[in-house]
Amino acid sequence: MTAPPLPPGPPPRPDGRVGVERIAEFASRIDVRSPSEFAEDHLPGAVNLPVLDDEERARVGTLYVQGSAFDARKVGAAIVARNVARIVETYAQDKPRDWEPLVYCWRGGQRSRSLAHVLAEIGWRAHPLDGGYRAYRRHVVASLGTLPQTFDYRVICGLTGSGKSRLLAALAAQGAQTLDLEGLARHRGSLLGDLPGDPQPTQKRFESELFAALASLDRARPVYVESESRKVGDLQVPETLLATMRAAPCVRVETPQPLRVELLMAEYAHFLAAPDLLASRLDRLVELHGTKTIEQWRDAAQRGAFDALTADLLERHYDPVYARSIERNFPRYDAATVVRIDDVSAEGFAAAARALLAAATDRVAAPA
């Protein structure tokens, strides 16, 4: 994902440091933190080139606590020197003379300065990020408190299985601006919504990707987004974004139940191949529906009666829950633009997206 566009900032300081407001100017970003730090979150587009990996960082830290700061610095300096040499010999070896990377660590300290200094001595214009990742993280948090309010959303609502995500993807393919929260969260937003083999990112990583996605949007054009609750899987949607979405106009997707069952069967095919996994997930609904109902659903899963099970889950669980949630959280739902889905093929959703966008254009063009 491309870096979020930020307003031009002041020039580099005499020591080469640049502030977080200038991140977008650097196509090359080097994160010298340990792999575990990088995995939790990092700047968009950054490459991880640790000057201390997790084991080395722990070793130096232990020596600092149990030995002396002087001994820890000696050991750390030797390790950093070897790792910086490896970075120069491998990653940096084919970089042109005008290469100008941004280098950062946790708070703009010795780890980033070590690599930036060597690169600068060679002749590249390497710039440490002032305040490091910590400054970037503060910028993301502050921006997510205000940036979401600057957009005009169209919230796609509809019962579970109605094809909201497919319509959103079709709108994007037609050139509309979209914000795919479930895609960023790697989750379909329901009890069974986790994606096999694709774990959710950390909360920090989700927020970084959300910030980058928002910052890439055009404020002059509407943004289509799927209705969500406060959490998508285990991830929290920022309150400002949620509040702004809930005050926005709605698009209601209406799909006949047989087609909803068909869509859900396709999207959750991994459960059809693992009925025991599906049965274990259904156990989480015992408090809502009682042991007897859950046993019936588990039995249906084990027998492979997935059509009947899906329809029953929609009628007795998902539809009532969604209806209560949408009524409580989206006050403009009753006045929503209705999109009827009678064809759940890719072309069917493409046609629905074209019709929705055409209707929106006609409304804008109509005289007051």
User: Both tokens of residue 1?
Assistant: 């994902």
The pLDDT tens digits of the residues spanning 311-349 come to: 999 999 999 999 999 999 999 999 999 999 999 999 999
Residue with tokens 């920022």: 238
Residue 162 placed within a domain? yes
Count of alpha carbons within 13 angstroms of residue 201, beta-carbon side:
20
User: Both tokens of residue 20?
Assistant: 């977080």
Shared domain check, 139 and 151: no
How far CA 341 is from CA of 57, 308, 354, in Å, comes to: 55, 21, 13
The answer, yes or no, to whether residue 7 has pLDDT greater than 80, is no
Shared domain check, 136 and 151: no
CA–CA separation, 125 and 16 (whole Å): 8
- Output the pLDDT for position 8: 45
Domain boundary among 105, 123, 143: 143
Shared domain check, 347 and 312: yes
CA–CA separation, 319 and 325 (whole Å): 10
Domain boundary among 83, 117, 143: 143
Shared domain check, 164 and 247: yes
Domain boundary among 104, 124, 143: 143
Q: For the chain, how many helices (H) and strands (E)?
A: 16, 11
The answer, yes or no, to whether residue 5 has pLDDT greater than 50, is no
Residue 232 placed within a domain? yes
The answer, yes or no, to whether residue 367 has pLDDT greater than 70, is no
- How is 100-136 classified by DSSP, letter by letter? --EEE-SSSSHHHHHHHHHHHHHT---EEBTTHHHHH
DSSP summary character for residue 190: S
Computed on alpha carbons and rounded to an integer, the radius of gyration of the chain in Å comes to 25
Name the nearest CA neighbour of 118 among 103, 96, 136: 103
CA–CA separation, 163 and 260 (whole Å): 7
DSSP summary character for residue 151: S
The pLDDT tens digits of the residues spanning 49-104 come to: 999 999 999 999 999 899 898 999 999 999 999 999 999 999 999 999 999 999 99
Query: How confident is the prediction for the chain on average, in pLDDT?
Result: 92
105 is catalytic: yes
Helical H segments across 110-217, by residue range: 110-122, 132-144, 164-173, 181-185, 203-215
> Which of 32, 43, 103, 105 is flagged as catalytic?
105
The fraction of the chain above a pLDDT of 70, given in percent, is 94
Residue 243 placed within a domain? yes
Q: To which H or E segment does residue 328 belong? A: helix 319-329
Shared domain check, 213 and 129: no
CB 152 within 8 Å of CB 128: no
User: Both tokens of residue 79?
Assistant: 């390790």
CATH code assigned at 70: 3.40.250.10
Residue 7 placed within a domain? no
- Output the pLDDT for position 64: 87
The pLDDT tens digits of the residues spanning 100-141 come to: 999 999 998 899 999 999 999 999 999 999 999 999 999 999
Shared domain check, 318 and 177: yes
Shared domain check, 96 and 154: no
Residue 100 placed within a domain? yes
By residue range, what is the domain housing residue 308?
A: 147-365
- Output the pLDDT for position 13: 57
Contacts of residue 319, defined as CB under 8 A and 6 or more positions apart, other chains included, come to 159, 160
Shared domain check, 200 and 71: no
Looking at the 3D structure of the chain, how many domains does it have?
A: 2
Shared domain check, 349 and 217: yes
How large is the average pLDDT for residues 163-170?
Answer: 97
The phi, psi pair for 200, rounded to 5°, reads -65, 150
The answer, yes or no, to whether residue 15 has pLDDT greater than 90, is no
Q: To which H or E segment does residue 250 belong? A: strand 250-254
